[in-house]
Amino acid sequence: MTMEDDARSASTKASRRPRWPRTAVALGSLAVAGAGLLASTELHGIPSLHATPQAQRAAIGATIALADDAPPPPTRSLMAAPTGARALPPGSPFIGAFKGSPESRLIGIYRAIGQQQTDVALDAAAALTHDVPGFRLAQLVYADLLAARTGNTAGFGATGAASVSSPAVVAEIGELHDEAVQRLHALQERPPAGQVPAEFIMLPKAIHHAIAVDTTRSRLYLFENGAQGLRLVSDHYVSVGKQGVDKTMEGDQRTPLGVYFVSDRVGQGSLGEAFGAGAMQLNYPNLLDQLHGRTGSGIYVHGVPFNTYSRPPKDSDGCVTLANDELVMLMNTVPIHDTPVIITRQTHWVSDDAIRQHRAEILDAVNHWQSVRARDDNGALQAFYAPGAAPPTPAAPPVPPPQATVVMIRGKRHVIPPPAVPPRDPISFDNLSVMTWSDAKETMVVTFNERGTRSHRETSLRQYWERDASKWKIVAEGTVR
């Protein structure tokens, strides 16, 4: 077959496909219309994803007025084969709609819609819903694309909502709408290149990973701690508590805010079907939570039921949930005990220079405490603690000074000098980690190992400091393990 025959055959196949109504080309009712048409050709590792000015002004679900001079239907040259990525030419910007994670494929579908490649979007949506049938948002986008092919652009999810009168279905479509907004906004507002969350002041080499959860963006960021510091390696859509964040009591269905650590790992089936592929338990309530009277327990980063791919942005009883495949990746990556998990309303990204400047001021207080502790000066050490926060140091009973011993050997009196007082075991510190947190007061969480130089006695200690006026004070302290 010649190239001309091949082109003619492709044109014939394309002509057999149903033509999209001119109104459907705009697809103003799809989620992408309001959240922003994605024009970038990559998903991860890019500084930003740009929305068209018109899309920035629109609201999701709003119907876009279609002018009589709407653009013609997209060319069929990209769709010589009915479905699949193999129908696209090498280097096509829409390959991402068929390959990668379910979320990256969904974003690729949005980009195809934004570029008016509606046939590509429809084929990619069909493939995605086939591969991940529990991805409800993808199912709804697929349904909207099918409806748009017939000229129905009544609104986001309007086809499904119009077919039933159940308030539950209407509510579910609203939740999927919110999920679409969160996924798109988080991917449009990428973290600034080379910047990290302001809370990560200092992490030792022994801590290989760190996690930050931005609850406003429904996003979890995984960092690798290497020779050059923290590096963002992946980020994931997550759900939080039904009632939002700032947990204060048992059963309030809120996700706690603060600095936590992975304290345990639980396999699939141990906690129930709702936890999906497994869970990583956080150390809520930590010592600071207990100090401020926060109650409750059992806060996890966990998966979702196996009959769904994801949950709405606010759908848990207080835990952080994400897709099972992504949860398994996290569980296989981060160790327990040492991995910090910072949960914030909104992540503030700062440069390494800003971190270094803040670190110098904070480490001055920590280093001063460690120098006094190394001298074993309990009196001076008390000044570092808030009232009632210092660890108990019970007074030892008075010990008389050692006395010489007198013995008689063969009728002669001999004086044996008192035994020498053994020298104090010098103390050293290592594996220092420091993270900050701003709540009612500025707080820092300090963890380190304390080791006896000769005895090799080792203790892992965690301190919670709060800034009182211009001074840092330790308000809670305890051993980690």
Domains (range + CATH), the chain: 3-188 (no CATH), 196-349 (2.40.440.10), 352-391+404-479 (3.10.450.50)
Separation between Cα atoms, residue 458 and residue 449, nearest integer Å: 7
Work out the pLDDT band at 47, boundaries 50, 70, 90. very low
Is the pLDDT confidence value at 77 over 70? no
Q: pLDDT per residue over 249-265, tens digit each?
A: 999 999 999 999 999 99
Work out the pLDDT band at 454, boundaries 50, 70, 90. low
Helices 167-188, 136-149: crossing angle, 10 deg rounding: 100
**How much is the average pLDDT of 167-172?**
85
**350-380 b/e with 16+ CB inside 10 Å = b?**
beeeebeebeeebbebbeebbebbeeeeeee
Q: Which strand (E) or helix (H) includes residue 368?
A: helix 352-374
Please classify residue 64 by burial: count the beta carbons closer than 10 Å to its beta carbon, then call 0-12 exposed, 13-18 middle and 19+ buried.
middle
Write the DSSP symbol of residue 153. Answer: -
Q: pLDDT per residue over 105-151, tens digit each?
A: 999 999 898 888 889 999 999 999 999 999 999 999 999 899 888 76
| pLDDT the model gives residue 139 | 93
Separation between Cα atoms, residue 122 and residue 76, nearest integer Å: 13
**How much is the average pLDDT of 92-107?**
88
Is the pLDDT confidence value at 82 over 50? no
Task: Give the mean pLDDT of the chain.
Answer: 80
Q: pLDDT per residue over 154-163, tens digit each?
A: 555 555 555 5
**How much is the average pLDDT of 278-289?**
97
Contact (CB, 8 A) for 455 and 445? no
| pLDDT the model gives residue 378 | 85
Is the pLDDT confidence value at 480 over 70? yes
The residue with greater pLDDT, 179 or 97, is 179
Is the pLDDT confidence value at 44 over 50? no
Q: Model pTM? A: 0.79
Is the pLDDT confidence value at 55 over 70? no
| pLDDT the model gives residue 155 | 52
Q: Which segment of 90-94, 402-406, 407-411, 417-421 scores lowest on mean pLDDT?
A: 417-421
The residue with greater pLDDT, 40 or 408, is 408
